[in-house]
Amino acid sequence: MADTPLSTPRPAAEPLTALISSDKLAFRAALDQLFVALRADWLVYQTRADLNSDKGMELGDTAASAWSLASAGLRAVRDMRAAHPDLRAAAGQMLPAVDDGTPGQSDLIRLSSALFALARAHKAAAPDLHALLLEAQALVEAWRGNLALMGLPRAA
């Protein structure tokens, strides 16, 4: 009885070096800063914060710092020689939108499609890279949604 095989297969453990590679960590850090920037921008909009008030200045400073850190992080990944080529490509494609701050809907749709195509190429071979690129694509879609909502007229 003890020698019967398990009915569900155990997935192989992912090598630790794949989880802590510097290019993936740097890209993850840039995505985290992009999330902070998007959230801060949304809070400014949602709370109708006056940027001359203490709360508004704090939210604006948080957003500006996060946008700057996201841009620097993406530049670092793009310029890493040892980084995975698709992470470098993703960072390079995201930089113009992040540096602009308020790209158009069509720019974000193109960026989202490009990130999805990069992710799809790694679905089977590199699931960790696939997940990271899909997260970048999801953030771009959230950004696109935020900009669309911010562009709508508000009720008084």
Q: For 19-64, how does the pLDDT look when each residue is reduced to its tens digit (9 = 90+)?
A: 568 999 999 999 999 999 999 988 888 888 777 888 888 888 898 9
Tell me, yes or no, whether 31 lies in a domain: yes
Task: Retrieve residue 107's tokens.
Answer: 């720019």
The Cα 123–Cα 134 span in angstroms is: 10
The pLDDT value given to residue 13: 55
Read off the pLDDT of each residue in 141-151 and give the average, rounded to a whole number. Answer: 91
Tell me, yes or no, whether 17 lies in a domain: no
- Locate all alpha helices (DSSP H) within the chain, ordered by sequence: 16-19, 22-47, 54-79, 85-100, 105-120, 127-150
Asked if residue 5 has pLDDT above 80, the reply is no
Our CA angle for 132, 39, 154, nearest 5°, is 130
Tell me, yes or no, whether 88 lies in a domain: yes
pLDDT band of residue 95 (cuts 50, 70, 90) is very high
Tell me, yes or no, whether 15 lies in a domain: no
The Cα 50–Cα 44 span in angstroms is: 8
Domain that holds residue 30: 22-150
- For residues 9 and 81, which has the higher predicted lDDT (pLDDT)? 81
The pLDDT value given to residue 131: 92
Q: Is the pTM of this model over 0.85?
A: no
Tell me, yes or no, whether 5 lies in a domain: no
The pLDDT value given to residue 75: 97
Read off the pLDDT of each residue in 96-119 and give the average, rounded to a whole number. Answer: 92
Tell me, yes or no, whether 69 lies in a domain: yes
pLDDT band of residue 17 (cuts 50, 70, 90) is low
Tell me, yes or no, whether 132 lies in a domain: yes
pLDDT band of residue 89 (cuts 50, 70, 90) is very high
The overall average pLDDT reported for the chain is: 86
Tell me, yes or no, whether 111 lies in a domain: yes
Question: Would you mind telling me the total number of residues written for the chain in this entry?
Answer: 156
Point out the least confidently predicted range of 1-5, 116-120, 148-152: 1-5
- In angstroms, the Cα distances linking 153 to 101, 103, 150, 156 are 20, 19, 8, 9
The pLDDT value given to residue 101: 76
Total number of domains in the chain: 1
